[in-house]
Amino acid sequence: MMAKFNIGDIKGVIPALITIFDKEENLDTDKLKILVNYLINQGVHGFYLTGSTGQGMMMDAAERKSVVEAVVEEVDGRVPIIVHVGAIATVQAIDLAKHACEVGADAISSVPPFYYKFSFDELYGYYEDVASSTPLPMIIYSIPYNTGVEMGIDSVEQLSRIENVKGIKYTSMDHYEMQRIKEHIGEDFMIYSGSDEMCVSGLMMGADGIIGSFYNLDPEIYIEIYEDIQNKEYGKARDKLIIANDIIEVCLKYGVYPSIRAGLRFIGIDAGRDRSPFKPLGNMEVKNFRRELKDLKSSKDITGIRLLDVL
Ligand code: MN9
């Protein structure tokens, strides 16, 4: 299988796809395929697999590969697919990268090696080795809150000189830094803003796309935001993000991933559970979550968002 999209075509609203685990915490790729089709029908522009939201770091290599195979097969070239291959040993990441390439993914991405405090030299070597292991474009994934690894403008600039390194998923709220990265490295270096709460300023300040958790749950609002920004309707985009953020604020009280799964269930999609030690919501929590979303809907008279319309 060959990649079908060029890096320049990977843009827009890209869910960091959740991975679906059943009650016993085993992978359920059949249910995942249902979600994938739902999201494509909602109009998402691509998928980012086995990253933070996809709990890639909580799966073994065989499981990560079966998620990638299932999604690539189901998507069948309709939208581009980025595979997160990050691991703390280079050899593990290379194995996943080669697999992603063989099955037809369009790009790979990786967090920097974490846990041990690797030197920049070691980190650079990791990206060099992983990026050169396949012809696919590599998107660096900076998420200092989770990895503890800060990558400033200078570091990103250096990494961007590695062949195949073509962009960054920038999960932080500093859109000054994000915009400077684009400015220093150039228009062709792709930037994906990773903080859903900040997608408007991210897109206004030069992000080519947005990759995040909530595009699994209420993608339609973010797709409208993306279109508004394309049309320079910034005020409209901001008003919509305030609504989206009202939803995020409620969700965060219950945990990002458990709330996304519970919300998808309201819509009629069985999104299973997270892997332990993440805890599923109890019945009472689900009830309260639903009530809080319902209150939000009526207090602001919100319509047109499936998650709220179904309540
Ligand atoms: O980068 C996501 N980060 C994590 C992506 O999953 C750690 C974001 O989409 C956040 O979940 C989101 C909510 O805070 O912005």
Contacts of 90-99 with CB under 8 Å at 24 or more apart are: 90/125, 90/126, 90/129, 90/130, 92/61, 93/126, 93/130, 94/129, 94/130, 94/133, 95/61, 96/61, 96/64, 96/65, 97/130, 97/133, 97/134, 97/136, 98/133, 98/134, 99/65, 99/68
Q: What is the pLDDT of residue 304?
A: 95
Q: What is the pLDDT of residue 249?
A: 98
Q: What is the pLDDT of residue 179?
A: 97
Alpha-carbon distances of 93 from 89, 114, 160, 171, 305, rounded to whole Å: 7, 12, 19, 20, 38
pLDDT tens per residue across span 136-157: 999 999 999 999 999 999 999 9
For residue 16, give the ligand 1 atom closest to its CA: 5
* Distance between Cα 1 and ligand 1 center (Å): 30
What global pTM score does this model have?
0.97
Q: Give SS3 for 184.
A: helix
Yes or no: say if 271 and 20 are a contact pair by the CB < 8 Å rule: yes
pLDDT tens per residue across span 241-291: 999 999 999 999 999 999 999 999 999 999 999 999 999 999 999 999 999
Q: What is the CATH number of domain 7-231?
A: 3.20.20.70
- What is the residue extent of each domain of the chain? 7-231
Q: What is the pLDDT of residue 2?
A: 85
Of 111, 139, 172, 195, which is best to mutate to test ligand 1, by the most ligand atoms within 8 angstroms of its C-beta?
A: 195
**Residue 310, amino acid:** V
Sequence-separated (6 or more) residues with CB below 8 Å from residue 284: none
Which residue has the CA at smallest separation from atom 13 of ligand 1?
196
- Ligand 1 pocket by C-beta < 6 Å: which residues? 16, 52-53, 143, 146, 171, 194-197, 212-213, 256
Which residue has the CA at smallest separation from atom 1 of ligand 1?
194
Residue (of 236, 226, 187) closest to 204 by Cα position: 226
Sequence-separated (6 or more) residues with CB below 8 Å from residue 200: 225, 229, 234, 237, 238, 241
Residue 112 is classified by DSSP as: P
How far apart CA 51 and CA 17 sit, in angstroms, is 8
For residue 212, give the ligand 1 atom closest to its CA: 9
* Residue 58 clears pLDDT 90, i.e. is over it: yes
Of 14, 53, 248, 278, which is best to mutate to test ligand 1, by the most ligand atoms within 8 angstroms of its C-beta?
A: 53
